[in-house]
A = this chain, B = another copy of it.
């Protein structure tokens, strides 16, 4: 059963408003004639809807632009001040709040650090107070997005796998936050929020061609951001998939849990009960663990005590020292990068995205990582599939999960412009 847009005249009007603000958000400035052509609407309908949106300060006229048939016409663009949103990133031991404008630019940022397991209930109160202060100081805030670690049970409102996220499993995010504020509040899993951030705010033009065809010629193909994978390589391993323009969630909101898809059913035991989970090979926590297994070696040769590092610090240290003549570092990082590549092979076969964006700590591996991925994917993926898959590292100006929290709020407003218009 398709979605329920467009079943009555008023929802049809909202749907058309939404399509216009989405086009202006993605594609920049457009004339009324261009919009009419693109949306198969009459010029009269476009004039009416855009007048409505201009009056509500959601879109604005620019100067003359080049239009159809060499004629100059007035451009329309999204008003950068149309609204602000709050993005909240919940991490293991910190919470970051930020205010974003329509374009995903940070207006304000605030981090609560050193959160201990026993504090989380108090921290929820601190978050609420901070949000109410922000709402009071900035009436243009129209929606809030919260990104949480996963697997996150969307319907229930809580995190399913307890141990990896310290105290947060005791929180029901839905009952705690979903109805607490006077603006729409959305809660989403971190990697999924990251996928929305990439899709709304990522730029994927002039992509390098990572996949020369088997015939030796190079075919540069345009990435289709309607089929995008965001592959989160942080403390855990996560995945967000946009397929045909829609974020995949699953019946409980726990689909695309790539970190717990096994790459070796007889491999390492994982906290989730499964064996050989991808996460046990290439998360920052996993490489940190391997480093700690060789603590005395790193102390002796590098005067670094892995025990004193966070997962992120350990992974970043290793990445900075690789490629290396040191066979211990080489072993650790080669294995991790190969596991990341096996994850790419699974992503391509399971989800067939046009573009895979690597993000978070391990994505700092850059060229060394990308060349391992290219090497393994060329071996293990059908040529037709590999040739049409772009793999890039994230180029967002801000942490993808934090921007992702803002992005799910932004997406809500783009889908329902009237929620901004009704509260001017």
Contact = CB atoms under 8 A, between A and B. Distances in A.
Interface of A: 1-8, 11-12, 15-16, 18-19, 22-23, 26, 39-41, 151, 153, 156, 160-161, 224, 226-227, 243-246, 248-258, 260-266, 272-276, 342, 345-346, 349-354, 379-382, 384-385, 388, 415
B258 A350 contact: yes
27 contacts: A1-B19, A1-B26, A2-B18, A2-B245, A6-B6, A151-B382, A160-B385, A227-B250, A243-B248, A243-B255, A246-B246, A251-B353, A251-B388, A253-B352, A254-B385, A257-B349, A257-B350, A257-B352, A260-B382, A261-B349, A263-B264, A264-B265, A272-B380, A273-B381, A273-B382, A274-B345, A274-B381
Nearest to A389: B251
B352 A250 contact: yes
B385 A151 contact: yes
B6 A273 contact: no
Given A15-B7, A251-B352, A261 B346 contact: yes
A418 to B, nearest CB: 15
Contacts of A226: 1, 251
Total copies of this chain within the assembly:
2
Given A227-B251, A243-B250, A382-B272, A6 B1 contact: no
A5 B15 CA distance: 10
A40 B351 contact: no
Give the secondary structure class of A's interface: loop
A342 B267 CA distance: 13
Contacts of A8: 40-41
Nearest to A351: B255
Which of A160, A256, A261 gathers most chain B CB within 10 Å? A261
Nearest to A376: B265
A262 B6 contact: no
A255 B350 contact: yes
Contacts of A16: 7
A251 B347 CA distance: 13
A251 B386 CA distance: 12
Contact of A255 (B6, B151, B273, B352): B352
Given A252-B388, A274-B349, 14 more contacts: A1-B23, A2-B3, A151-B385, A226-B251, A227-B251, A250-B351, A250-B353, A252-B384, A254-B385, A255-B352, A265-B342, A273-B380, A273-B382, A274-B381
Nearest to A262: B263
B350 A261 contact: yes
A272 B273 CA distance: 30
B257 A342 contact: no
Contacts of A243: 243, 248-250, 255
A41 B382 CA distance: 48
A7 B40 contact: yes
Nearest to A263: B265
Nearest to A255: B352
B264 A261 contact: no
A4 B266 CA distance: 46
A350 B256 contact: yes
Given A245-B1, A272-B382, A354 B251 contact: yes
Nearest to A277: B349
A349 B6 contact: no
Contacts of A4: 40
Contact of A264 (B22, B40, B266, B274): B266
B227 A380 contact: no
A406 B337 CA distance: 45
8 tightest A-B CB contacts, nearest first: A6-B6, A250-B352, A255-B352, A227-B251, A251-B354, A274-B380, A257-B349, A260-B349
Contacts of A261: 261, 346, 349-350
